[in-house]
Structure 1
Amino acid sequence: MAARSVPAPRVLVLGGSGFAGGHVCAAFLARGWEVHAWSRRARAPRGVTARAVDLVRAGPGRLADELAALAPQVVVNAAGAVWGASEAEMAEANERAVLRFTAAVTALGTRAPRFVQLGSVHEHAAATVYGRTKAAATACVTAAGGTVLRLPNLLGPGTPEGSFLGGVGARLARAARTGEAVTVTTLARRERREFLDVRDAADAVLAAVAPPAASRVRGRVLDPGTGRPVDVRDLLDLLIRLSGVPARVEERLPEPGYAPPGGLSGVEQGPSHEIAEKLLGWRAVRGPEESLRGLWEAASGLPAGLEQGTSDGLATG
């Protein structure tokens, strides 16, 4: 008698059409999972079953019915609002939608899937609407037994144009095609932030749902990262060099009361990344140059200009 084939485990990625969500989908696919993605638009990487579900408007009853029908073993929430979103949009997408979805998961009782929420390092200060709404979602998810990964700034292939480096990459890519001049305006102050390659972040999600880490991190909040903040201006200069596109950088003083979009100021994680590494059995393996290479090549379709292994001069200590 032929051996019965074991069905692939099933994961549902909320926000699977987005930057982080798309990479999470790809990581699960590479490990042989059956991957489903819900987002406002039914888009997802090749090999993923996509469905249009508006998490902001759907009620817990409908969500519970949809979850019961799909019966995933794992749900990853990579949905949310930050770049270009209003305070009201952040509150709805980052907090209230997560509360409703967590209620739907809890309603399934013993059939409830393992839930992983992608949080943010900006929850530590919670000094902005973005930080506060993400922190409120974290409290809800962990109370229900889910796991939260508070991520630093993400970088890599597909970095959104709404972010500073993603926007610069898009402008450089257009200039590479058209030959137009590029001037980048940046603040006349040095900001150090921690960046994590989005592919390393996706691997951290995989680690959080795989044995033996899965049982260790249930109901916990972790801060996976590198522990090495870098100078944003150094990253900008490196991205321009990688592109090979001539660009002029102009510095300006910030306006009084200026705050970066989404409240993404220079928050640093501290040593908590070491706890995440130990509990997850995971470590970030990609450095800033590899992340920027991925950003540039995805934005332009062109290879990066620097030779692999070239020293990028970044201060990572």
Structure 2
Amino acid sequence: MTRMVVTGASGFVGGAVAAAAAEAGWEVATTSRRPARVEAGTHAAWDLTAPPSAGVLELLASADVVVHCAAWVGDAGERERVRAVTVDGTRAVLRHSGTARVVHVSTASVYDPTGPSVGARESEAPVARYLDPYAEAKADAEREVLASATARDVVVLRPHAVYGPGDTTLLPRVLATVRGRRRRWLPLPGGGRVRQHLTHVRTLTDAVLAAASVPLDGPLVANVADAEPVELRAALTALLAERGTPARVVAVPARAAWALATAGEALHRLPGGRAPRLTRYALSHLVHERTYDLTALHERLGVTPRPTSFEGAAGW
């Protein structure tokens, strides 16, 4: 049986990947700082900012495929901490994985954050400058993975806005934004009249499992998303309705929101400053189109993504 090691298995994506791989017949082992979200085989605790234990080293050395999902999640972390987890942690995974294939779960946030991404192709990223440490670190982690391709097979996957059962990021953020009790409303900078690709977690796990076994003749980078883009405004209202918390979208001037985000980030950098509710990174994903070319997903990985659906979201 082929062995897969999944890092970051306590997280939304890592847990989903481990569960899908076990269901597909892989021998799965996991690592994460906290307990894994699923019982899918041997588990070894590992905080990526610390040296790996003997148990972690044994798992990585015996792996045929390492799916690297572990990273700092969030757009308000201190740069040094974010890079220690995401960049240095990726280096450690690569260093101790021998010649195992590495499937690196990156993000579409590595594309240019300052303008729209319209059918963006994989060659358009990474870019030179980002708005936050999260995207910068994810881009540098990609560079580390691709630089290791002379020693192993590597695949880099770039999902955008992952959602679905177990979501710990997108859905909680949307719910936290809803205002009012009787008449709920959702403030959206620019009104949300932009096209966005979203990524159901099943679409992402399908891509990961394909990336773990597809024949390769060199490093592969692939965007991952649902079948077609959706309007952001319509998607969020549909999600909230399915959750049983319908809300009316209220447009917020984008320029005012940008000023607020900039001020909030400046205050956060002061001693004792609180994490801002709105960041320029988040704002860039609300006011710009975010659509991606999925040719590699279809033709290289053989994955046919599903349409965007929030069915069952009441139980997420």
TM-score when normalising by structure 2: 0.75
- Cα distance in 1 for partners of 2:241, 2:182 equals 17
- Cα distance in 1 for partners of 2:244, 2:297 equals 37
- Cα distance in 2 for partners of 1:92, 1:295 equals 34
- The equivalent residue for 1:187 is 189
Alignment of structure 1 residues 199-210 onto 2, 5 Å: 199-210=202-213
Identity rate, percent:
26
- Cα distance in 1 for partners of 2:259, 2:227 equals 31
Q: Is residue 297 of structure 1 aligned with residue 284 of structure 2?
A: no
CA shift for structure 1 position 226: 3.9
The question of whether the paired residues in 1 share the 8 Å contact of 2:77 and 2:134 is answered with: no
The question of whether the paired residues in 2 share the 8 Å contact of 1:121 and 1:269 is answered with: no
- Cα distance in 1 for partners of 2:51, 2:235 equals 40
The question of whether the paired residues in 2 share the 8 Å contact of 1:224 and 1:277 is answered with: no
Deviation per CA, 1:15-60: give whole Å up to 9, x if none: 0111111111111011111211111012231334332111122269
- Cα distance in 1 for partners of 2:165, 2:280 equals 21
State the superposition RMSD in angstroms.
2.9
Deviation per CA, 1:239-285: give whole Å up to 9, x if none: 232233354544433141637548243363442x1123101111212
Q: 1:142 aligns with which of 127, 146, 169?
A: 146
- The equivalent residue for 2:236 is 236
The question of whether the paired residues in 1 share the 8 Å contact of 2:183 and 2:247 is answered with: yes
Residue type at the aligned position of 1:256: A
The question of whether the paired residues in 2 share the 8 Å contact of 1:14 and 1:21 is answered with: yes
User: Any unmatched runs of 5+ in structure 1?
Assistant: 1-7, 299-317
Q: Is residue 215 of structure 1 aligned with residue 216 of structure 2?
A: yes
User: Any unmatched runs of 5+ in structure 2?
Assistant: 113-126, 263-277
- Cα distance in 1 for partners of 2:142, 2:280 equals 18
Query: Residues 242 and 66 (structure 1 numbering): CA distance in 2 closer, same or farther, change over 3 Å?
Result: closer
Residue type at the aligned position of 1:214: P
Query: Residues 25 and 294 (structure 1 numbering): CA distance in 2 closer, same or farther, change over 3 Å?
Result: farther
The question of whether the paired residues in 1 share the 8 Å contact of 2:68 and 2:103 is answered with: yes
TM-score when normalising by structure 1: 0.74
Q: Is residue 28 of structure 1 aligned with residue 9 of structure 2?
A: no
- Cα distance in 1 for partners of 2:28, 2:161 equals 25
The question of whether the paired residues in 2 share the 8 Å contact of 1:157 and 1:296 is answered with: no
Query: Residues 59 and 245 (structure 1 numbering): CA distance in 2 closer, same or farther, change over 3 Å?
Result: closer
Query: Residues 149 and 38 (structure 1 numbering): CA distance in 2 closer, same or farther, change over 3 Å?
Result: same
Query: Residues 131 and 244 (structure 1 numbering): CA distance in 2 closer, same or farther, change over 3 Å?
Result: closer
- Cα distance in 1 for partners of 2:50, 2:96 equals 14
Alignment of structure 1 residues 18-167 onto 2, 5 Å: 18-58=11-51, 64=57, 67-68=60-61, 71-83=62-74, 84-105=76-97, 108=98, 112-125=99-112, 126=127, 127-128=130-131, 129-145=133-149, 146-160=154-168, 162-163=169-170, 165-167=171-173
Residue type at the aligned position of 1:58: P
Look up the SS of the partner of 2:6 in the other structure.
Answer: strand
Moved more, 26-35 or 87-96: 87-96
Report the count of equivalent residues.
Answer: 270
- Cα distance in 1 for partners of 2:291, 2:69 equals 20
CA shift for structure 1 position 79: 1.0
- Cα distance in 2 for partners of 1:150, 1:13 equals 17
The question of whether the paired residues in 1 share the 8 Å contact of 2:195 and 2:291 is answered with: no
- The equivalent residue for 2:302 is 281
CA shift for structure 1 position 113: 1.4
Deviation per CA, 1:60-97: give whole Å up to 9, x if none: 999645523xx121110111123253333322222121
Residue type at the aligned position of 2:140: A
Deviation per CA, 1:133-184: give whole Å up to 9, x if none: 1111111111212211111211111222x43x33345899xx9xxx987543
- Cα distance in 1 for partners of 2:54, 2:40 equals 29
Query: Residues 275 and 255 (structure 1 numbering): CA distance in 2 closer, same or farther, change over 3 Å?
Result: closer
- The equivalent residue for 1:303 is none
- Cα distance in 2 for partners of 1:82, 1:137 equals 14
Residue type at the aligned position of 2:290: E
- The equivalent residue for 2:201 is 198
